[in-house]
A and B are shown apart, each in its own frame.
Chain A
Amino acid sequence: MNVTIVDYNSGNISSVINSFKEVARDKVKIEVTTDLNKIKSSDKVVLPGQGSFKSCVDALNNISGLVDALNEFAINNKKPLLGICVGLQMFADVGYEETETKGLGWISGKVSKIDNQNGKYKLPHIGWNQINIVKDSKIFKGIENNSHMYFVHSYEIVPEDKNVVSATTDYSSNIVCSVEKENIFGTQFHPEKSDKVGLKIIDNFINL
Protein backbone atom coordinates (compact mmCIF):
# COMPACT_ATOMS: atom_id res chain seq x y z
CA MET A 1 0.00 0.00 0.00
CA ASN A 2 1.11 3.56 -0.50
CA VAL A 3 0.05 6.86 0.98
CA THR A 4 0.76 10.07 -0.87
CA ILE A 5 1.29 13.39 0.87
CA VAL A 6 0.58 16.16 -1.61
CA ASP A 7 3.49 18.60 -1.68
CA TYR A 8 2.03 21.70 -3.33
CA ASN A 9 4.07 24.46 -1.65
CA SER A 10 1.49 24.92 1.08
CA GLY A 11 4.06 25.78 3.70
CA ASN A 12 5.79 23.61 6.17
CA ILE A 13 4.90 19.94 5.78
CA SER A 14 7.98 18.37 7.39
CA SER A 15 6.06 17.43 10.53
CA VAL A 16 3.34 15.73 8.50
CA ILE A 17 5.95 13.73 6.61
CA ASN A 18 7.84 12.78 9.80
CA SER A 19 4.71 11.62 11.60
CA PHE A 20 3.42 9.50 8.71
CA LYS A 21 6.85 7.92 8.29
CA GLU A 22 7.01 7.21 12.01
CA VAL A 23 3.64 5.45 11.94
CA ALA A 24 4.14 3.69 8.61
CA ARG A 25 7.59 2.29 9.43
CA ASP A 26 8.30 -0.28 6.71
CA LYS A 27 4.75 -1.53 6.24
CA VAL A 28 3.45 1.31 4.10
CA LYS A 29 5.19 3.45 1.50
CA ILE A 30 4.90 7.18 2.11
CA GLU A 31 5.32 9.30 -1.02
CA VAL A 32 5.69 13.07 -0.98
CA THR A 33 4.92 14.40 -4.41
CA THR A 34 2.88 16.52 -6.82
CA ASP A 35 3.19 13.95 -9.59
CA LEU A 36 -0.40 13.69 -10.84
CA ASN A 37 -0.14 10.06 -11.91
CA LYS A 38 1.31 9.04 -8.58
CA ILE A 39 -1.52 10.84 -6.78
CA LYS A 40 -4.18 9.20 -8.95
CA SER A 41 -2.76 5.72 -8.50
CA SER A 42 -2.15 6.10 -4.78
CA ASP A 43 -4.20 4.17 -2.22
CA LYS A 44 -4.59 7.12 0.10
CA VAL A 45 -3.91 10.82 -0.13
CA VAL A 46 -3.05 13.36 2.55
CA LEU A 47 -3.72 17.03 1.82
CA PRO A 48 -1.86 19.24 4.32
CA GLY A 49 -2.16 23.02 4.40
CA GLN A 50 -0.62 25.91 6.31
CA GLY A 51 -0.90 29.64 5.87
CA SER A 52 -4.05 31.26 4.58
CA PHE A 53 -7.01 29.65 2.78
CA LYS A 54 -6.26 31.81 -0.24
CA SER A 55 -2.54 31.01 -0.35
CA CYS A 56 -3.28 27.26 -0.18
CA VAL A 57 -5.98 27.37 -2.88
CA ASP A 58 -3.67 29.47 -5.07
CA ALA A 59 -0.87 26.95 -4.53
CA LEU A 60 -3.19 24.08 -5.55
CA ASN A 61 -4.27 25.91 -8.68
CA ASN A 62 -0.68 26.76 -9.56
CA ILE A 63 0.03 23.12 -10.26
CA SER A 64 -1.68 22.35 -13.51
CA GLY A 65 -4.11 19.44 -13.27
CA LEU A 66 -3.74 18.98 -9.52
CA VAL A 67 -7.31 19.91 -8.58
CA ASP A 68 -8.62 17.58 -11.32
CA ALA A 69 -6.41 14.77 -10.04
CA LEU A 70 -7.69 15.28 -6.49
CA ASN A 71 -11.29 15.34 -7.73
CA GLU A 72 -10.73 12.14 -9.64
CA PHE A 73 -9.14 10.49 -6.61
CA ALA A 74 -11.62 11.57 -3.93
CA ILE A 75 -14.89 12.23 -5.76
CA ASN A 76 -14.91 9.88 -8.78
CA ASN A 77 -12.89 7.00 -7.37
CA LYS A 78 -13.95 7.55 -3.75
CA LYS A 79 -10.55 6.69 -2.31
CA PRO A 80 -9.64 7.83 1.23
CA LEU A 81 -8.31 11.35 1.56
CA LEU A 82 -7.31 13.18 4.74
CA GLY A 83 -7.16 16.98 4.87
CA ILE A 84 -5.25 18.59 7.73
CA CYS A 85 -5.83 22.18 8.93
CA VAL A 86 -6.21 24.37 5.81
CA GLY A 87 -6.22 21.07 3.88
CA LEU A 88 -9.57 20.37 5.58
CA GLN A 89 -10.80 23.95 5.20
CA MET A 90 -10.36 23.77 1.43
CA PHE A 91 -13.08 21.06 1.27
CA ALA A 92 -15.60 23.91 1.66
CA ASP A 93 -17.23 25.89 -1.16
CA VAL A 94 -15.71 29.18 -0.16
CA GLY A 95 -13.27 30.78 2.28
CA TYR A 96 -13.07 34.36 3.52
CA GLU A 97 -9.42 34.66 4.64
CA GLU A 98 -7.69 37.63 2.94
CA THR A 99 -10.39 37.71 0.28
CA GLU A 100 -13.32 35.56 -0.87
CA THR A 101 -11.82 32.46 -2.45
CA LYS A 102 -13.44 29.41 -3.98
CA GLY A 103 -12.61 26.08 -2.33
CA LEU A 104 -12.81 22.50 -3.63
CA GLY A 105 -16.55 22.33 -2.92
CA TRP A 106 -16.51 18.78 -1.54
CA ILE A 107 -18.36 19.76 1.61
CA SER A 108 -20.95 22.48 1.21
CA GLY A 109 -20.29 25.32 3.55
CA LYS A 110 -17.87 28.13 4.22
CA VAL A 111 -14.70 28.95 6.13
CA SER A 112 -14.91 32.08 8.23
CA LYS A 113 -13.00 33.78 11.02
CA ILE A 114 -13.55 32.49 14.53
CA ASP A 115 -15.66 34.95 16.53
CA ASN A 116 -13.31 36.08 19.29
CA GLN A 117 -16.12 37.91 21.09
CA ASN A 118 -14.60 41.38 20.75
CA GLY A 119 -11.14 40.34 21.85
CA LYS A 120 -12.25 38.27 24.82
CA TYR A 121 -10.52 35.28 23.27
CA LYS A 122 -7.03 35.29 21.78
CA LEU A 123 -6.56 34.43 18.12
CA PRO A 124 -5.05 32.31 16.70
CA HIS A 125 -6.60 29.53 18.77
CA ILE A 126 -3.23 28.00 19.68
CA GLY A 127 -2.57 25.04 21.91
CA TRP A 128 -4.10 21.85 23.24
CA ASN A 129 -7.84 21.57 23.34
CA GLN A 130 -10.17 18.65 23.90
CA ILE A 131 -12.32 17.21 21.16
CA ASN A 132 -15.94 16.20 21.57
CA ILE A 133 -16.49 13.20 19.33
CA VAL A 134 -20.02 13.50 17.94
CA LYS A 135 -19.87 10.78 15.31
CA ASP A 136 -18.27 7.37 15.12
CA SER A 137 -15.55 8.32 12.66
CA LYS A 138 -13.26 5.58 11.36
CA ILE A 139 -10.20 7.68 12.13
CA PHE A 140 -11.25 7.91 15.81
CA LYS A 141 -11.03 4.17 16.40
CA GLY A 142 -9.48 3.73 19.86
CA ILE A 143 -9.52 7.49 20.51
CA GLU A 144 -11.23 8.47 23.75
CA ASN A 145 -13.74 11.25 23.82
CA ASN A 146 -12.25 14.49 25.22
CA SER A 147 -8.75 13.59 24.03
CA HIS A 148 -6.39 16.54 23.69
CA MET A 149 -5.29 17.67 20.24
CA TYR A 150 -2.98 20.46 19.14
CA PHE A 151 -4.65 23.37 17.35
CA VAL A 152 -3.38 26.46 15.61
CA HIS A 153 -5.87 28.39 13.49
CA SER A 154 -7.96 31.55 13.30
CA TYR A 155 -10.57 30.32 10.82
CA GLU A 156 -13.15 27.55 11.11
CA ILE A 157 -15.12 25.45 8.66
CA VAL A 158 -18.89 25.83 8.93
CA PRO A 159 -20.51 22.95 7.03
CA GLU A 160 -24.16 23.25 5.98
CA ASP A 161 -24.86 19.59 6.62
CA LYS A 162 -24.06 18.94 10.28
CA ASN A 163 -24.05 15.19 9.63
CA VAL A 164 -20.53 15.43 8.23
CA VAL A 165 -19.21 16.74 11.57
CA SER A 166 -17.35 14.05 13.50
CA ALA A 167 -15.88 16.20 16.30
CA THR A 168 -16.07 19.69 17.72
CA THR A 169 -14.00 21.66 20.21
CA ASP A 170 -14.99 24.40 22.64
CA TYR A 171 -13.30 27.75 22.40
CA SER A 172 -15.05 31.09 22.00
CA SER A 173 -17.81 29.01 20.45
CA ASN A 174 -18.34 25.38 19.52
CA ILE A 175 -15.90 24.86 16.63
CA VAL A 176 -16.06 22.06 14.07
CA CYS A 177 -12.69 20.30 14.28
CA SER A 178 -13.19 17.09 12.35
CA VAL A 179 -15.34 15.95 9.45
CA GLU A 180 -16.07 12.66 7.74
CA LYS A 181 -18.05 12.42 4.54
CA GLU A 182 -17.91 8.97 2.98
CA ASN A 183 -14.23 8.57 1.96
CA ILE A 184 -13.25 12.15 2.82
CA PHE A 185 -11.74 12.91 6.23
CA GLY A 186 -10.48 16.13 7.71
CA THR A 187 -9.06 17.46 10.95
CA GLN A 188 -8.70 21.11 11.90
CA PHE A 189 -6.23 20.09 14.60
CA HIS A 190 -2.79 18.71 13.81
CA PRO A 191 -2.62 14.97 14.46
CA GLU A 192 1.05 15.10 13.45
CA LYS A 193 1.73 17.38 16.46
CA SER A 194 -0.71 15.79 18.91
CA ASP A 195 1.67 13.29 20.45
CA LYS A 196 0.67 9.63 20.76
CA VAL A 197 -3.06 10.18 20.41
CA GLY A 198 -2.47 12.11 17.18
CA LEU A 199 -0.24 9.38 15.80
CA LYS A 200 -3.06 6.93 16.54
CA ILE A 201 -5.37 8.94 14.25
CA ILE A 202 -2.73 8.79 11.52
CA ASP A 203 -2.41 5.05 12.11
CA ASN A 204 -6.20 4.69 11.81
CA PHE A 205 -6.19 6.55 8.50
CA ILE A 206 -3.32 4.48 7.12
CA ASN A 207 -5.13 1.28 8.14
CA LEU A 208 -8.54 2.20 6.69
Chain B
Amino acid sequence: MLKNRIIPCLDVKNGRVVKGINFVDLQDAGDPVEQAKIYSDGGADEICFLDITASNENRDTIYDVVKKTSKKCFVPLTVGGGVRSIEDINKLLNCGADKVSINTAAVQNTEVVVESSKKFGSQCIVVAIDAKKNEDKWEIFTHGGRNNTRIDAIKFAKKMEDSGAGELLVTSMDRDGTQVGYDIELMSKISSTVNIPLIASGGVGSLDHLVDGIKLGNASAVLAASIFHYGKHSVREAKEYLDSKGIPVRI
Protein backbone atom coordinates (compact mmCIF):
# COMPACT_ATOMS: atom_id res chain seq x y z
CA MET B 1 0.00 0.00 0.00
CA LEU B 2 1.26 3.45 -0.89
CA LYS B 3 2.07 5.47 2.21
CA ASN B 4 1.29 9.11 2.86
CA ARG B 5 4.46 11.14 3.03
CA ILE B 6 5.71 13.57 5.64
CA ILE B 7 8.01 16.23 4.23
CA PRO B 8 9.90 18.59 6.52
CA CYS B 9 10.78 21.83 4.80
CA LEU B 10 13.82 23.96 5.53
CA ASP B 11 14.00 27.62 4.56
CA VAL B 12 17.50 28.36 3.34
CA LYS B 13 18.94 31.85 2.91
CA ASN B 14 22.47 32.49 1.67
CA GLY B 15 23.23 28.82 2.29
CA ARG B 16 22.04 28.91 5.92
CA VAL B 17 18.86 27.63 7.57
CA VAL B 18 16.65 30.51 8.63
CA LYS B 19 14.43 28.77 11.19
CA GLY B 20 16.33 25.75 12.35
CA ILE B 21 15.87 22.88 14.73
CA ASN B 22 17.03 23.90 18.15
CA PHE B 23 18.77 20.67 19.08
CA VAL B 24 21.50 21.01 21.65
CA ASP B 25 23.73 18.39 20.06
CA LEU B 26 23.93 20.20 16.75
CA GLN B 27 27.41 21.31 15.83
CA ASP B 28 26.05 24.05 13.65
CA ALA B 29 22.34 24.84 13.93
CA GLY B 30 22.40 26.84 10.73
CA ASP B 31 23.81 24.15 8.50
CA PRO B 32 21.10 22.84 6.14
CA VAL B 33 23.10 19.74 5.32
CA GLU B 34 23.29 18.66 8.94
CA GLN B 35 19.61 19.36 9.54
CA ALA B 36 18.53 17.50 6.44
CA LYS B 37 20.54 14.53 7.64
CA ILE B 38 18.80 14.62 11.04
CA TYR B 39 15.42 14.65 9.30
CA SER B 40 16.25 11.78 6.97
CA ASP B 41 17.71 9.71 9.82
CA GLY B 42 14.51 10.47 11.75
CA GLY B 43 12.31 8.95 9.07
CA ALA B 44 11.42 11.91 6.83
CA ASP B 45 10.01 10.59 3.56
CA GLU B 46 11.47 13.46 1.60
CA ILE B 47 13.36 16.64 2.34
CA CYS B 48 12.40 20.01 0.93
CA PHE B 49 14.65 23.07 0.68
CA LEU B 50 13.06 26.40 -0.02
CA ASP B 51 15.72 28.87 -1.09
CA ILE B 52 14.73 32.36 0.02
CA THR B 53 18.01 34.04 -0.85
CA ALA B 54 17.11 37.52 -2.00
CA SER B 55 20.23 38.75 -3.72
CA ASN B 56 21.37 37.38 -7.03
CA GLU B 57 25.04 37.24 -6.10
CA ASN B 58 24.31 34.70 -3.37
CA ARG B 59 22.04 32.51 -5.50
CA ASP B 60 24.80 29.98 -6.07
CA THR B 61 24.92 29.07 -2.38
CA ILE B 62 21.93 26.74 -2.80
CA TYR B 63 23.80 24.62 -5.35
CA ASP B 64 26.54 23.94 -2.87
CA VAL B 65 23.98 23.01 -0.17
CA VAL B 66 22.18 20.62 -2.54
CA LYS B 67 25.46 19.02 -3.63
CA LYS B 68 26.53 18.32 -0.06
CA THR B 69 23.09 17.14 1.09
CA SER B 70 22.67 14.70 -1.78
CA LYS B 71 25.88 12.97 -0.79
CA LYS B 72 24.55 12.36 2.73
CA CYS B 73 20.78 11.93 2.42
CA PHE B 74 19.39 9.02 0.45
CA VAL B 75 15.75 10.03 0.40
CA PRO B 76 14.22 12.29 -2.26
CA LEU B 77 15.29 15.91 -2.15
CA THR B 78 13.05 18.66 -3.51
CA VAL B 79 14.43 22.14 -4.05
CA GLY B 80 12.44 25.28 -4.79
CA GLY B 81 12.68 29.05 -4.64
CA GLY B 82 13.91 31.29 -7.42
CA VAL B 83 13.76 28.62 -10.10
CA ARG B 84 13.28 30.59 -13.31
CA SER B 85 14.48 28.57 -16.27
CA ILE B 86 15.28 25.16 -17.73
CA GLU B 87 18.92 25.98 -17.01
CA ASP B 88 18.17 26.55 -13.29
CA ILE B 89 16.36 23.20 -13.16
CA ASN B 90 19.21 21.45 -14.96
CA LYS B 91 21.75 22.89 -12.52
CA LEU B 92 19.78 21.81 -9.45
CA LEU B 93 19.26 18.29 -10.80
CA ASN B 94 22.94 18.00 -11.64
CA CYS B 95 23.79 18.99 -8.08
CA GLY B 96 21.68 16.08 -6.83
CA ALA B 97 18.15 17.42 -6.38
CA ASP B 98 15.55 14.79 -7.27
CA LYS B 99 12.72 17.22 -7.85
CA VAL B 100 12.55 20.93 -8.49
CA SER B 101 9.61 23.06 -7.54
CA ILE B 102 8.65 25.95 -9.79
CA ASN B 103 6.43 28.77 -8.63
CA THR B 104 6.50 32.24 -10.23
CA ALA B 105 8.06 31.01 -13.48
CA ALA B 106 5.25 28.46 -13.96
CA VAL B 107 2.65 31.22 -13.67
CA GLN B 108 4.48 33.62 -15.96
CA ASN B 109 5.32 31.07 -18.62
CA THR B 110 3.62 27.68 -18.81
CA GLU B 111 6.21 26.60 -21.38
CA VAL B 112 8.78 26.23 -18.59
CA VAL B 113 6.66 23.41 -17.17
CA VAL B 114 5.91 21.89 -20.58
CA GLU B 115 9.55 21.92 -21.68
CA SER B 116 11.11 20.85 -18.39
CA SER B 117 8.75 17.91 -17.91
CA LYS B 118 9.54 16.77 -21.45
CA LYS B 119 13.26 17.20 -20.98
CA PHE B 120 13.67 15.81 -17.45
CA GLY B 121 10.46 13.83 -16.95
CA SER B 122 7.32 14.77 -15.01
CA GLN B 123 8.64 12.89 -11.98
CA CYS B 124 10.98 15.75 -11.11
CA ILE B 125 8.73 18.71 -11.87
CA VAL B 126 6.70 20.02 -8.94
CA VAL B 127 4.60 23.12 -9.45
CA ALA B 128 4.23 25.22 -6.31
CA ILE B 129 0.93 27.06 -6.09
CA ASP B 130 0.59 29.87 -3.55
CA ALA B 131 -3.07 30.75 -3.20
CA LYS B 132 -5.15 33.15 -1.16
CA LYS B 133 -8.91 33.13 -0.75
CA ASN B 134 -10.84 36.03 -2.24
CA GLU B 135 -14.58 35.71 -1.58
CA ASP B 136 -15.60 32.42 -3.16
CA LYS B 137 -12.42 31.64 -5.06
CA TRP B 138 -8.69 31.27 -4.56
CA GLU B 139 -6.21 33.46 -6.40
CA ILE B 140 -2.60 32.70 -7.25
CA PHE B 141 0.13 34.83 -5.74
CA THR B 142 3.68 34.96 -7.07
CA HIS B 143 7.02 36.47 -6.05
CA GLY B 144 6.92 34.93 -2.59
CA GLY B 145 3.32 36.01 -2.06
CA ARG B 146 3.79 39.69 -2.91
CA ASN B 147 2.03 39.76 -6.25
CA ASN B 148 -1.64 38.88 -6.82
CA THR B 149 -2.13 37.54 -10.34
CA ARG B 150 -5.92 37.14 -9.96
CA ILE B 151 -5.54 33.75 -11.63
CA ASP B 152 -7.98 31.10 -10.36
CA ALA B 153 -5.94 28.55 -8.41
CA ILE B 154 -8.19 25.55 -9.15
CA LYS B 155 -8.15 26.15 -12.91
CA PHE B 156 -4.43 26.81 -12.80
CA ALA B 157 -3.83 23.52 -10.99
CA LYS B 158 -5.60 21.64 -13.80
CA LYS B 159 -3.57 23.55 -16.38
CA MET B 160 -0.33 22.58 -14.64
CA GLU B 161 -1.33 18.91 -14.65
CA ASP B 162 -2.04 19.14 -18.38
CA SER B 163 1.31 20.87 -18.92
CA GLY B 164 3.23 17.95 -17.43
CA ALA B 165 3.68 18.68 -13.72
CA GLY B 166 4.26 15.50 -11.72
CA GLU B 167 3.03 16.89 -8.41
CA LEU B 168 1.51 20.05 -6.98
CA LEU B 169 2.75 21.75 -3.83
CA VAL B 170 -0.20 23.82 -2.66
CA THR B 171 0.32 26.52 -0.04
CA SER B 172 -2.43 28.58 1.48
CA MET B 173 -1.10 32.12 1.89
CA ASP B 174 -3.88 32.81 4.41
CA ARG B 175 -2.68 30.02 6.63
CA ASP B 176 1.08 30.10 6.12
CA GLY B 177 2.82 30.87 9.40
CA THR B 178 -0.44 30.97 11.41
CA GLN B 179 -0.26 27.42 12.82
CA VAL B 180 -4.07 27.10 12.65
CA GLY B 181 -4.07 24.27 10.11
CA TYR B 182 -4.14 23.76 6.35
CA ASP B 183 -6.83 25.35 4.21
CA ILE B 184 -8.69 22.05 3.86
CA GLU B 185 -11.26 23.37 1.41
CA LEU B 186 -8.54 24.54 -0.98
CA MET B 187 -6.65 21.26 -0.72
CA SER B 188 -9.66 19.03 -1.29
CA LYS B 189 -10.92 21.17 -4.18
CA ILE B 190 -7.60 20.94 -6.01
CA SER B 191 -7.06 17.30 -5.12
CA SER B 192 -10.44 16.31 -6.55
CA THR B 193 -9.79 18.36 -9.70
CA VAL B 194 -6.42 16.82 -10.64
CA ASN B 195 -5.16 13.25 -10.94
CA ILE B 196 -1.60 13.99 -9.85
CA PRO B 197 -0.52 13.90 -6.19
CA LEU B 198 -0.98 16.98 -4.03
CA ILE B 199 1.40 18.08 -1.27
CA ALA B 200 -0.40 20.24 1.29
CA SER B 201 1.46 23.17 2.82
CA GLY B 202 0.93 26.22 4.98
CA GLY B 203 -0.47 26.51 8.47
CA VAL B 204 0.49 23.38 10.37
CA GLY B 205 0.60 23.93 14.13
CA SER B 206 -0.25 20.49 15.47
CA LEU B 207 -0.11 16.84 14.52
CA ASP B 208 -3.90 16.83 14.07
CA HIS B 209 -3.46 19.30 11.23
CA LEU B 210 -1.35 16.72 9.39
CA VAL B 211 -4.14 14.16 9.88
CA ASP B 212 -6.72 16.64 8.52
CA GLY B 213 -4.55 17.45 5.50
CA ILE B 214 -4.57 13.80 4.49
CA LYS B 215 -8.02 12.68 5.63
CA LEU B 216 -10.03 15.78 4.77
CA GLY B 217 -7.78 17.56 2.29
CA ASN B 218 -7.03 14.37 0.39
CA ALA B 219 -3.33 15.23 0.20
CA SER B 220 -0.84 12.51 -0.75
CA ALA B 221 1.83 14.22 1.26
CA VAL B 222 1.99 16.83 4.00
CA LEU B 223 4.69 19.44 4.22
CA ALA B 224 5.49 21.31 7.40
CA ALA B 225 8.24 23.54 8.64
CA SER B 226 7.78 25.08 12.05
CA ILE B 227 6.32 22.12 13.97
CA PHE B 228 9.52 20.21 13.28
CA HIS B 229 11.65 23.18 14.24
CA TYR B 230 12.69 23.88 17.80
CA GLY B 231 12.05 20.21 18.54
CA LYS B 232 8.29 20.70 19.10
CA HIS B 233 7.63 17.40 17.33
CA SER B 234 9.93 14.93 15.68
CA VAL B 235 9.13 13.36 12.33
CA ARG B 236 8.87 10.02 14.10
CA GLU B 237 6.29 11.35 16.57
CA ALA B 238 4.29 12.71 13.67
CA LYS B 239 4.36 9.36 11.91
CA GLU B 240 3.37 7.43 15.00
CA TYR B 241 0.48 9.83 15.53
CA LEU B 242 -0.73 9.46 11.94
CA ASP B 243 -0.40 5.70 12.26
CA SER B 244 -2.56 5.77 15.41
CA LYS B 245 -5.21 7.61 13.38
CA GLY B 246 -5.27 4.92 10.74
CA ILE B 247 -3.23 6.77 8.13
CA PRO B 248 -0.72 4.58 6.27
CA VAL B 249 2.82 5.83 6.89
CA ARG B 250 6.30 4.38 6.52
CA ILE B 251 7.60 3.53 9.98
Contact = CB atoms under 8 A, between A and B. Distances in A.
On chain B, which size bracket covers the interface?
A: 20 to 34
B95 interface: yes
Interface of chain B, main secondary structure: loop
A51 to B, nearest CB: 4
B250 interface: yes
Nearest to A149: B250
B3 A129 contact: yes
B197 interface: yes
B124 A12 contact: yes
Interface in A1-42: 11-12, 14-15, 18-19, 21-22
Given A122-B220, A126-B220, A148-B3, A50 B120 contact: yes
A22 B94 CA distance: 17
Contact of B76 (A148, A154, A193): A193
B74 A195 contact: yes
Interface in B120-177: 120-124, 166-167
A199 B75 CA distance: 11
Given A129-B2, A148-B250, A170-B1, A18 B196 contact: no
A156 interface: no
A122 B161 CA distance: 12
A91 B3 CA distance: 28
B96 A128 contact: no
A152 B166 contact: yes
B121 A11 contact: yes
Contacts of A153: 123
Nearest to B89: A12
A126 B123 contact: yes
Interface in B66-102: 70-71, 74-76, 93-98
A150 B2 CA distance: 10
A67 B66 CA distance: 33
B35 interface: no
A125 B196 CA distance: 9
B3 A14 contact: no
A105 interface: no
Output the residue of A21, A123, A128, A199 with the most chain B CB within 10 A.
A128
Nearest to A49: B121
B74 A192 contact: yes
A52 B121 contact: yes
Contacts of A127: 2-5, 45, 197, 220-221
Contact of B70 (A15, A126, A128, A170): A15
A147 to B, nearest CB: 10
B166 A130 contact: no
Q: Which of A12, A195, A198, A199 has the most CB of B within 10 A?
A: A12
A122 B1 contact: no
Contacts of A50: 120-121, 123-124
Contact of B74 (A51, A119, A130, A193): A193
Nearest to B5: A127
Contacts of B58: none
B160 to A, nearest CB: 14
Contacts of B75: 150, 193-195
Nearest to A193: B76
Interface string B56-72: 00000000000000110
Contacts of B94: 12, 14
A183 interface: no
11 contacts: A12-B97, A14-B93, A15-B70, A124-B123, A124-B167, A128-B250, A129-B1, A150-B76, A171-B2, A193-B98, A198-B74
Interface of A: 11-12, 14-15, 18-19, 21-22, 50-52, 55, 116, 119, 122-130, 148, 150-154, 170-171, 192-196, 198-199
Given A11-B121, A127-B3, 8 more contacts: A12-B98, A12-B120, A19-B74, A122-B220, A123-B196, A124-B122, A151-B2, A170-B1
Q: Which 4 A-B pairs have the closest CB atoms?
A: A51-B121, A12-B93, A14-B96, A152-B123
